[in-house]
Amino acid sequence: MSEAKGRDDVGLEERLARLEAIVERLEQDELELQEALELFEEGIGHVRAAHGLLDETRLRVEKLVVEMDGAVSVEPHSPE
């Protein structure tokens, strides 16, 4: 069950939340140039990563299967 959780370390939710914060800070605060550039790079990184995630177009479907001994396993499921 090691791969049960999301495949990348940072979830989409966190990325988008961080992105919102970055946009807000860049647009509202008086920032040092250095900080502004760092925020910019981080923000663009999040945009790229999120886009990369969204570009996955093949939905994966899995099915829980109860074995004879009662153990539960996860199998790929191909909906026909």
- H or E element: which one contains 72? strand 72-76
CA distances from 46 to 12, 13, 31, 36, 79 (A): 9, 11, 20, 15, 33
Calpha distance 47→15 (Å, rounded): 8
Residue 21 binding other proteins, by CB under 8 A = no
Q: Site for other proteins (CB under 8 A): how many residues?
A: 44
Applying the rule CB under 8 A, the residues between 45 and 74 that interact with other proteins are 47, 50-51, 53-64, 66, 72-74
Interface contacts to other proteins, rule CB under 8 A: 1, 4-7, 11-13, 16, 19-20, 22-23, 26-27, 31, 33, 36-37, 39-40, 43-44, 47, 50-51, 53-64, 66, 72-74, 77, 79
